[in-house]
Amino acid sequence: MNNTRWQALFQSLNASHRMFQYRRKDLDGSWFPEDGISFTPEIAQYWGEFSSMEWFDILAYKEIRKGALLPIEVVDYSDELIEIARSVGAKFSIIDHGIRVWGYIRENEQPNLQ
C-alpha cells in the first residue's frame, strides 16, 4: 500500500475518535508492540514509517467494565472500521474482533482480502 493510502487511513482512524487497539508487523520480522501479541491504543506510535510495514492490525471492540460482579459489556465497531478501510481503498482481511490492513503480501500468503 502506498504512503498516500496509509496517511488517509491513519487520518480517518484518528478522526473517528474511537479507542481502537493497534499492532504492526514489519517486513524485517519485527513487531510493535515487541511481543507480537499485545496491542496499544496509541496510533501516533505507528504514524510515518509505512514503507516497512507488512501489515497493521486494528481491533474494533471495546470492553466496558461496570463493576467486579457485573458481566463485561463488549461494544463492536467493526462496521465503522471496515467502512474507514474501504473509504481509503485499503486492502484488508477480517481477523478476530477487527481487520488486518496489508502493506505488502508475501508470495506464500493468500489472505482473504475484502
Cα 27-33-38 angle, rounded to 5 deg: 120
Positive/negative CA dihedral, 50, 31, 112, 78: negative
Asked if residues 25 and 36 have their Cβ atoms less than 8 Å apart, the reply is yes
Give tens-digit pLDDT for 3-47: 889 999 999 998 988 888 899 999 999 988 888 777 777 777 777
| Locus of grid cell 510515518 | 48
63-87 pLDDT, tens digit each: 888 888 999 999 999 999 999 999 9
| Residue 20 confidence (pLDDT) | 87
Cell of 113: 482480502
CA angle centred on 4, ends 80 and 91, rounded to 5°: 50
Q: Any idea what DSSP says for residue 37?
A: S
Check residue 19 and give its pLDDT.
81
